[in-house]
Amino acid sequence: MTFIPRGVLPAMITPMKKEGGVNIPALRKLIDYMINGGVHGIFAMGTTAEFYAVSKEEYQEVLEATVDQVAGRVPVYSGANAIGTRESIELIHIAEKVGGIDAISVLTPYFIGVNQNELYEHFAAIAKSTDMNIVLYDNSPKTHITIKPDTVAKLADIPNVVGMKDSTGDLTNTADIINKTTRAGKDFHVMMGRDSIIYGALSYGATGAVAATANVAPKLVSSIYDKYMAGDLQGAMDAQYKLLPLRIAFGLGSFPTVIKEALEMVGIEAGPCAMPTGTMSEEEKKQLRQVLAGMELL
């Protein structure tokens, strides 16, 4: 049995200083806030973390601080996202050097157009470059590149490719992947990457979710999984619907500024987003406060 990605993992933001650079003390406080809120792992340096805006030195600094602050309380996941295969492998080597990381998530390439055979060779080369557990990551609404279910099934035969984060937002796609991997007897597990359909994904056989909203509302998001696993399906569904307004509120500003602003509103230091992502307008902030108040987070 390989490592199983499971539970609710916050797609952790990277707190930043106003003058630029990562804010490690704020990162440590955020990690404690989320773990105390019941999350089942910490996911650093993913897309919500603005991976594209940090240097390799900052990437390593964030991973070192994350592993240190988590201190074995929950599993640690890290993104290793890049356009090219070689750079993703370089990031994995940094994660290997840091140590204490349970799994690496690798986003599809972006900007360039690649076919399914090229995607297979990309992920296969990455997996074969390391002994670390690899979680595939499909966020086609952002990258416009998708890993088709048949390609996922083929990649699932590589021993250290242990799962996938599916952020397509398409439950038919999620179900097709699970049907061709987990239900086909492969040692492979799917995590939902769209916060608004965690309950639906669990009902299809997903083993959890990577949720940006868990930065802000870790107790609520974690309760969807916990209640579902305990057999309290109504409670899990009620929690999912209670979370829905926050996920919809992501549309109030450029990603991930809404998450950072919401954290500041609930008293957790997050700092600004890296340029060119700006700030929310006062009207947008007013609407966000109303959402948070309605969710009893303020």
Q: Which residues are catalytic?
A: 137, 165
Q: Which DSSP string do the residues of the chain spell out, in sequence order?
A: ------EEEEB----B-TTSSB-HHHHHHHHHHHHHTT-S-EEESSTTTTGGGS-HHHHHHHHHHHHHHHTTSS-EEEE---SSHHHHHHHHHHHHHH----EEEEEPP-SS---HHHHHHHHHHHHHT-SSEEEEEE-HHHHS----HHHHHHHTTSTTEEEEEE-S--HHHHHHHHHHTTTTT-S-EEEE--GGGHHHHHHHT--EEEEGGGGT-HHHHHHHHHHHHTT-HHHHHHHHHHHHHHHHGGGGSSTTHHHHHHHHHTT----PPPTT-----HHHHHHHHHHHHHTT--
What is the token pair recorded at 17?
């200083």
**Cβ pair 9, 210 in contact under 8 A:** yes
Helix axes 233-248, 218-229, angle to 10 degrees: 150
The position carrying tokens 């599993």 is 75
